[in-house]
Amino acid sequence: MLHAMISQERTSFDPEALSAVLTAYSAVLRELGLSEGDDAGTRMIAKRLIEFACQGERDPERLKTATLEALSS
């Protein structure tokens, strides 16, 4: 699902950035007790992660933290 959203956003990430996004996505899902799927919650998580990665963030922990903070506000 995350790969599909990246394609839909018409953005591409180098392998390092993609790895960071995937790692952060898995970490956010674990933190929230969710499983990977195609529902509104996981789409919102993916959308936020993609936004932060598009802004240049590449550290998986910071991506995770920023995403969790964005979702809680």
Strand extents, DSSP E, the chain: none
HSE-CB of 48 using CA atoms within 13 angstroms? 21
Q: Cβ distance 53 to 62 under 8 Å? A: no
Interval 32-59: pLDDT, tens: 999 988 889 999 999 999 999 999 999 9
CA 44, 1, 40, 10 dihedral sign is positive
pLDDT band at 5 (very low <50, low <70, confident <90, very high): confident
Q: Cβ distance 37 to 73 under 8 Å? A: no
Residue whose structure tokens are 């936004």? 51
Q: Domain coordinates of the chain in residue numbers?
A: 2-72
* pTM exceeds 0.85 for this model: yes
- pLDDT value at residue 3: 75
Q: Cβ distance 52 to 63 under 8 Å? A: yes
- pLDDT value at residue 30: 96
pLDDT exceeds 70 at position 10: no
